[in-house]
Amino acid sequence: MNHTKKIRITLAAACAFGLATGPGQALEIDPHVAPQVDIGGRALITTKAHRVKEADGGTDSDSELEFADSSLLFGFSKYLFDSENYAFGAIGIKAIEDDAHHDVRDDIYLHQMHAGVGGERFEVVLGRTGLPNTLVVFPTLRDDDLMDFTHVGNAFSHAPDEVYQLYGGVVQGTLFWPAQRMSATGTITARTETDGTGSRTSSSEFNGYNLKFAYDVPEAIKFDRGLRYTALAWDRQDLNDGEGEMDAFQAGAVINLSDNPEATWNLDLQATYVNGISVPDLASIANRSKAEQKSVAAAIRYGHRPWLQTRWQAAVTVGWKDYDDFSDASAWTVAPSLMYRLGSGIHALAQYQYRSNSSGLADATGVDNDQRIYLGLSFDFDHTLNKHVAGRDSIMFLEHNMLDVGPARGGH
């Protein structure tokens, strides 16, 4: 029997088996294709000295060791049946603050759990990832250090947990115009909801929308002075029955001030306006998120980069915020920071942060001013197995990195 006859007999037997067993057990020929696997993570360990001056004139001081924002990420990707489009998924866990609400217990939070498909001109993401409520990466140790000044607050959360402000469910689609370095992103959001005590009631119900237009020119393409990144965004949260809707508008830009890629100067800028609703006071986190407000944040950073490898970065970030419907309810902050690279992915860190509340906001929150000093180390790693998919970014772009210049990242 020749080879051709053997093939015919084998296919005939397979078809006969499929007919005999019915469609539920028909033979499915599905070749095994191993995915590309990306593994990344960060150990971010800092000591913190903290001093608070309370609104009644008292003071409170403490010091502690912090592990928050240490994370572990797993990414998987494959090409589709054509070689131009791809699919991907990611799972990520991170350490959270020690004083997190009891609903976010066990010190670990699942902050990334999403899947998507993409190509040269589009990308679609579904699942949990970073919320599209900020535009620019600022050079702070952690992304929540200046959260009150840089992020649109979660109007559905009464809990003090930063993860409820930073992460949530999304159905997100992005269109890219690669030659013009432009993109448009539309997102349906599912922010975490809690009751008045801070206990979680939902983390999957759709309750908002976001639309963003951006122009991004990475340093690898253009390193001389000029505009590196700019974006405009509109964010809506559909509030609880009877409260109406809350709209926020953001504008951000990053400007390269230097022509020397080995000694970089960058200016980061962002402005946020929230039209808000009427709230009785600013005592709770939810009320402060819902109130009408405006804020600005700016940073100037210098990067020492011999041979185009950053050895150290020094930066100063400032922010200001005002609640329009309340008398003398504003705040300002300043946060100088330093990162020194000891080796590939190994950094020594230092940051000082000072925040001052005006009398109206101090009475509402109980805090007149707040000072924090951080010293620590971070160890970052990123490794790819079975590399064959040309993704847009490293998996570590899902995490905040104070050396990043330009857009804040989410699910892609």
User: CA 171 to CA 41: how far, in whole Å?
Assistant: 25
**Residue-by-residue pLDDT tens, the chain, 412 positions:** 554 545 454 445 545 445 445 555 557 777 788 999 999 999 999 999 999 999 999 999 999 999 999 999 999 999 998 878 999 999 999 998 766 655 655 678 999 999 999 999 999 999 999 999 999 999 999 999 999 999 999 999 999 889 999 999 999 999 999 888 999 999 999 999 999 888 888 889 999 999 999 999 877 776 788 999 999 999 999 998 778 899 999 999 999 999 899 999 999 999 999 999 999 999 999 999 999 999 999 999 999 999 989 999 999 999 999 999 999 999 999 999 999 999 999 999 999 999 999 999 999 999 999 999 999 999 999 999 998 887 667 899 999 999 999 999 764 4
Long-range CB pairs of 335-339, under 8 A, 24+ apart, other chains included: 335/140, 335/145, 335/146, 337/139, 337/140, 337/141, 337/402, 338/312, 338/313, 338/314, 339/139, 339/312, 339/313, 339/402, 339/403
- The answer on 315 and 275 residing in a single domain is yes
- The answer on 35 and 14 residing in a single domain is no
User: CA 104 to CA 116: how far, in whole Å?
Assistant: 26
Identify the residue whose tokens are 């104070």.
Answer: 402
- Is 212 part of any domain? yes
- The answer on 316 and 254 residing in a single domain is yes
- Is 336 part of any domain? yes
Kindly report the pTM of this predicted structure.
0.89
State how far Cα 213 lies from the chain centre.
17
- The answer on 161 and 22 residing in a single domain is no
- Is 59 part of any domain? yes
State how far Cα 196 lies from the chain centre.
26
Range of the domain at 1: 1-30
Q: Which amino acid is at 225?
A: R
- The answer on 157 and 298 residing in a single domain is yes
- Is 404 part of any domain? no
- The answer on 39 and 20 residing in a single domain is no
Q: Give the count of domains, the chain.
A: 2
- Tell me the pLDDT tens digit for each residue of 6-64: 545 444 554 544 544 555 555 777 778 899 999 999 999 999 999 999 999 999 999 99
Q: What is the pLDDT of residue 391?
A: 65
CATH number of the domain that residue 345 is part of:
2.40.160.10
- The answer on 298 and 185 residing in a single domain is yes
How many residues in the chain? 412
- The answer on 44 and 24 residing in a single domain is no
- The answer on 26 and 143 residing in a single domain is no
- The answer on 114 and 97 residing in a single domain is yes
* Main-chain phi, psi angles of 150, to 5 degrees: -120, -20
- The answer on 97 and 26 residing in a single domain is no
- Is 177 part of any domain? yes
